[in-house]
Amino acid sequence: MSHSGGGVKKVVELKGGVFLFNGFVSNPYLINGDKLVVVDPATPSAAELMIAFVERELNRDRRDIALVTATHFHIDHIGGIDLLKGMTGAQLALHPLVGEYLSGRRIKFPPCRRWLRGIIHAWRSQSFALPSLKDLARSPLAGYPLLPNRLASPVDIWLSDSRPLQTNAAWKVLFTPGHVEDSICLYHAVAEIIITGDTVLNVSGSGELNPFYNDEKALLASFERLKELRVTSLYPAHGRPLEKEDLWDGVRVI
């Protein structure tokens, strides 16, 4: 099941009822189930595409999108949050540190010396167009360096480490700091799937730890934690999905 555009499938069905939406600055995912979950809605236009897909292709009501979450609080992962909440009534679930960001704490971004290398690496294998000015204007003023963080509506659920998503119990939340302090992954043990956000990317074709990070020690510790999990399908926020046996053995470390 897919939409096509520009020679690239706009929506791709992956394992475990997960759909990938291509063409954005990060990879938005939709988790199908009794309740639908949106992960990393990159931009308002991504959010609109996801809603249209739910209604036209899945033949479901947009209000079946019960939960919206993000693997961390950077603008390229949260740009569509306000629109999704407003159009679906979904609950917003985020890392507890986001509460501090919304109360005035500055987000700790990776050092400037890693920006150029990290951003080029993350975008190198992705087919995307930069968000339009209209898209940026509709995005929340949040997830940027040095700016205050504001969302149009409050966070409904603060995620807990090693606990299941409230609406989809098969998916477990894992706190994986390193790229940034509030990084998370989502793990489905039965389907052996992990959504890794910006913790583990796949630009190289075999996976790699993100070179754009705050804390190397924390990132390596997070990777050691992930390696204990049985995973045969890895869905990153940048790069392409990776599916193979002994998946962790090929991932390049920093």
- Which pTM does this prediction carry? 0.93
CA distance 118 to 55: 36
pLDDT at 124: 66
Domain range list for the chain: 4-250
pLDDT at 129: 66
Kindly report the number of other CB atoms within 10 A of residue 200's CB atom: 30
Instruction: Say which CATH class 4-250 falls into.
Output: alpha beta
CB 209 within 8 A of CB 224: no
pLDDT at 9: 75
pLDDT at 219: 98
Contacts of 158 (CB under 8 A, 6+ apart): 93, 94, 95, 96, 99
Residue segments in the chain with a per-residue pLDDT below the cut of 70:
1-8, 115-129
pLDDT tens profile 69-95: 999 999 999 999 999 999 999 999 999
